[in-house]
Amino acid sequence: MQLQYSGRRAFVLSLAAMLLLVLCQTCALAADVVETFTGYLVDKSCAAMIKNDHLDPTKRLKDHTKACSLEPSCCEAGYAVYSGGKWIDLDANGSALAQKVIRASKKDKGHMCKIVGSFKRNEFHATSVSEVN
């Protein structure tokens, strides 16, 4: 009788281990889903102030200047994108890409961009940032 119980227990533990492995692989795949967003690019310092005024941010984002986004205190904070009513914080690499886009832009304000990448934790890991007109 003991042998039969031991065999069942081993089977249940093996089955549980396989299910856990499948679940972990599924979670890893879901974390790497590539997404694309288009929205206004702004430094995180100014994004925090815009969020706190509880008004529609679109007007302020259209008027946000290139000079402000490139000020040392602003660009050191990193960048975010406002898209579809949501704020998306870029990781360090995405922020570096965003800064290059702003520097190269011919526009003085209202930087609209497209970001491509995936979410990891609460940051967007951008693989590309490009300006759109």
Average pLDDT in the 106-127 region? 94
User: Residue 8 pLDDT > 60, yes or no?
Assistant: yes
What's the number of CA atoms in the CB half-sphere (13 Å) around residue 47? 22
pLDDT in tens, 77-116: 999 999 999 999 999 999 999 999 999 999 999 999 999 9
Rounded Cα gap, residues 108 and 65, in angstroms: 6
- pTM comes to 0.74
34-73 confidence digits (pLDDT tens): 999 999 999 999 999 999 888 889 999 999 999 999 999 9
Neighbour tally for 110: CB within 10 Å: 17
For residue 25, is pLDDT > 80?
no
Give the Cα separation of 44 and 75 in Å (integer). 8
